[in-house]
């Protein structure tokens, strides 16, 4: 890897099953590969999206899948659903459990449901030996409280789309978690605090992601109606700039981090 053109990039979190990609998915994948994004994690947030993520992973080389129940959808949680997700997780293309966690900002599901099914998924993820993909927003410490009760040093996971405080970041790092950085990093006002904090993250804990079709980075957000994995390259280049590292060196580090976390061969 000796030039920007030869960088290998892993979009560690995207929602390729989204309806916004219907009729254009071949193009989305092709543009990603042209941008050096040769691997992607298609993330499930309920049973149908998890099933579609697995189908996409079967269809395209370089796409991997996760299964899980998002806190927004926790009101629909049940033991039967967990069993269905557990069965789906046996598929060889499933490399993680999640997206799961707590979101007390929008409260699409009651707090008690979010907490119940977050804990159940923590238990399931451990039983299956899968790394976890976490979502946290405005939980005022409750996410960390529940996580600490079920977390051990041997476990692996990522706090996706990190936008928390410095104190939360330090707790995550102390627990051995990876940190997912999105296009928020590129946004002038909204990303100011994140640009300060990413300098504090050890290089071996960094991941980059789009969360596509959401959180389009700048300047693409001024030109395109949706985010897509190709744009994670912009996130990586901005991250290298902020951390004062060469893009090639950072790309290799982040590639290795993501492959190691998800148990994917580097080559």
**Rg of the chain in Å (alpha carbons):** 17
Residues at the binding site for a divalent metal cation are 13, 15, 99, 135, 160, 211
C-alpha torsion sign, points 186, 176, 85, 164? negative
Q: Which residues sit in the known binding site?
A: 13, 15, 99, 135, 160, 211
In tens, the pLDDT along 31-49 reads 999 999 999 999 999 999 9
Inter-residue contact 68 to 85 (CB < 8 Å): yes
pTM of the model: 0.96
Task: State pLDDT tens for residues 3-35.
Answer: 566 799 999 999 999 999 999 999 999 999 999
Check residue 138 and give its pLDDT: 95
pLDDT at res. 266: 87
Closest CA to 208 of 258, 265, 156, 264: 258
pLDDT at 245 (0 to 100): 97
Q: How many CB atoms lie within 10 A of CB 166?
A: 11
- Per-residue pLDDT, 2: 42
pLDDT along the chain (267 residues), means of 10: 73 97 96 97 98 98 98 98 98 98 96 98 98 96 97 96 96 98 97 98 98 97 95 98 97 98 92
């Amino acid at each position: 890897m000796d030039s920007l053109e030869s960088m290998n990039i892993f979009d560690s979190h995207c929602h390729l099953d989204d309806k916004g990609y219907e009729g254009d998915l071949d193009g989305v994948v092709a543009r990603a590969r042209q941008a050096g994004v040769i691997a992607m994690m298609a993330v499930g947030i309920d049973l149908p999206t998890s099933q579609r993520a697995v189908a996409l992973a079967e269809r395209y080389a370089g796409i991997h899948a996760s299964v899980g129940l998002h806190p927004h959808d926790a009101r629909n949680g049940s033991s039967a659903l967990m069993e269905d997700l557990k069965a789906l997780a046996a598929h060889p293309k499933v490399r993680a459990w999640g997206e799961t966690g707590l979101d007390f900002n929008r409260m699409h599901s009651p707090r008690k449901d979010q907490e119940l099914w977050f804990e159940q998924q923590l238990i399931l993820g451990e039983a299956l030996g899968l790394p976890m993909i976490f979502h946290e927003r405005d939980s005022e410490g409750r996410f960390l409280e529940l996580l600490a009760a079920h977390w051990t040093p041997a476990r692996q996971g990522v706090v996706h789309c990190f936008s928390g405080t410095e104190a939360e970041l330090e707790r995550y790092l102390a627990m051995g978690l990876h940190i997912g950085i999105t296009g928020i990093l590129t946004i002038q006002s909204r990303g100011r605090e994140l640009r300060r904090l990413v300098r504090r993250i050890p290089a071996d804990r960094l991941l980059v992601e789009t969360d596509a079709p959401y959180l389009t980075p700048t300047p693409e957000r001024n030109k395109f109606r949706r985010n897509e994995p190709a744009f994670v390259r912009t996130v990586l280049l901005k991250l290298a700039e902020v951390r004062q590292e060469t893009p090639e060196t950072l790309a290799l580090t982040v590639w290795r981090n993501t492959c190691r976390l998800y148990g994917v061969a580097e080559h």
